[in-house]
Amino acid sequence: MKITMPTIIFGEQVIECEQGENLRHVLLKAKLPLYNGIAAAIHCRGMGTCGTCAIDVEGSVSEITSVEKWRLSFPPHKSDSGLRLACQCKVLGDLKLKKHGGMWGNRTDASSRSSRNA
């Protein structure tokens, strides 16, 4: 029996992982840039409290956790952003990921434009 492994697309990179693996661990193991700038050194190491591993996820991951929901509900995050915290997600299927700018990875092109114009 062939076991299929989820495929993860991150920018130009394509990797595979085990189903159910923690998304943060998968990305760090593959040396993909989950954290922006100084966040690479001062993040919470996967506790779900800093919010710097926020990422746009297209595809199947585990349900949002209570700590993830809590962290994504206060600034600089916005509860309606649609972002997920990689450290709280289990990979359940193929994914396409996009990391946005800013220390918390919350600056989409639209929000960067509006903050520059403010």
Q: Which range binds ligand FES by CB under 6 A, 6-14, 15-23, 45-53, 76-84? A: 45-53
Binding flag, residue 50, ligand FES (CB under 6 A): yes
- 61 - beta bridge partners? 91
CB 56 within 8 A of CB 98: yes
Cross-strand bridge partners of residue 7 = 16
Measured distance CA(50)–CA(104) in Å, rounded: 8
Contact map string, positions 2 to 41, toward ligand FES, x by CB under 6 A: ----------------------------------------
State the Cα–Cα distance between residues 9 and 61, nearest whole angstrom: 14
- CB-based contact 79:9 (threshold 8 Å): no
Q: Applying CB under 6 A, does 51 fall inside the site for ligand FES?
A: yes
| One residue of 23, 36, 48, 95 binding ligand FES per CB under 6 A | 48
Which residues sit at the interface with ligand FES, rule CB under 6 A?
Answer: 43-44, 46-53, 71, 85, 87
